Amino acid sequence: MKKLSDVIVGFIGAGNMGFTLAKVAAKVIPGTRILLTNRSLEKTAKAAVEIGATALASNTELTQKSDVIFLGVKPYQIEAVLGEIAGNLGGKIVVSMAAGVSFESIRSHIGQAAHPAALVRISPNTPACVGEGMTALAVDNDSAESLEAAELVTALLASGGRVEAVPETLLTCVGAVSGCGPAYGFVFIEALADAAVALGMPRRQAYIYAAQTLKGAATLTLESGDHPGVLKDAVCSPGGTTIEALRVLEERGFRAAIINAVHAAARKTAELGKK
């Protein structure tokens, strides 16, 4: 298996998430060793210029030339794409981002004649574009090849934020929490900003205050290691403003809404994987 210093990486489906990961990879390997394909060759070519990569029109050509192939296509597209490239996967590392598509399904789509070096599934999120992503990574077995592949993929993505190994059974949970989570955060930021605007703060300033507040709370949680409940209690003075605001959130089912939303996302992920 090739080392990071000389590996060639291909991204099939260089859309929003796929191209974000391509940009992350371009921080640790030269863009000249990154290949991209997408539905629109014109758009892919423009994206490739940004990181010094090469845009290709053919998934087959990309697979032939790459050592690591990231699949950034939708779950319903995975069968067709794998069928197209299966004959060229021998000795390659295949990394799937398709939500809900299991290793078992991936192997069935590849067929018994193909012998990739390793299969990897990842669940990334968009904050990787600013180095604050959360990516979960799973391999389908504990062979030496799979563990080496996990190390290589982790090295490629590490500049995008945290990368942590999880069992495949947790990937649906991960997708519903951290994969979808940025959207939940953006809605919260927008709501906080709307409240600030209603109280007289200029819109641009309101977004800064709301976003920095959530960023600060997240950083404090990660760096302190304290339970979120402990950190919350430290902000709540007896009879004060914060505990009054929290009383309203609890009254309106704030926690339950979040939990139910995550469960709904997890159910949808499972449905997508079956199609």
pLDDT by position in tens, the chain (length 275): 788 989 999 999 988 899 999 999 999 999 999 999 998 888 899 999 999 999 999 999 999 999 999 999 999 999 999 999 999 999 999 999 999 999 999 999 999 888 999 999 999 999 999 999 999 999 999 999 999 999 999 999 999 999 999 999 999 999 999 999 999 999 999 999 999 999 999 999 999 999 999 999 999 999 999 999 999 999 999 999 999 999 999 999 999 999 999 999 999 999 987 76
Q: Where are the domains of the chain?
A: 4-166, 181-274
CATH superfamily label, 4-166: NAD(P)-binding Rossmann-like Domain (3.40.50.720)
Of 163, 156, 155, 153, which is closest to residue 125 (Cα–Cα)?
A: 163
Q: What angle do CA 9, 71, 275 make, to 5 degrees?
A: 170
Torsion angle in degrees (nearest 10) through CA of 178, 181, 183, 189: -130
At 11, give phi and psi (nearest 5°).
-120, 110
pTM: 0.93
Answer yes or no: CATH 1.50.10.20 is held by domain 181-274: no
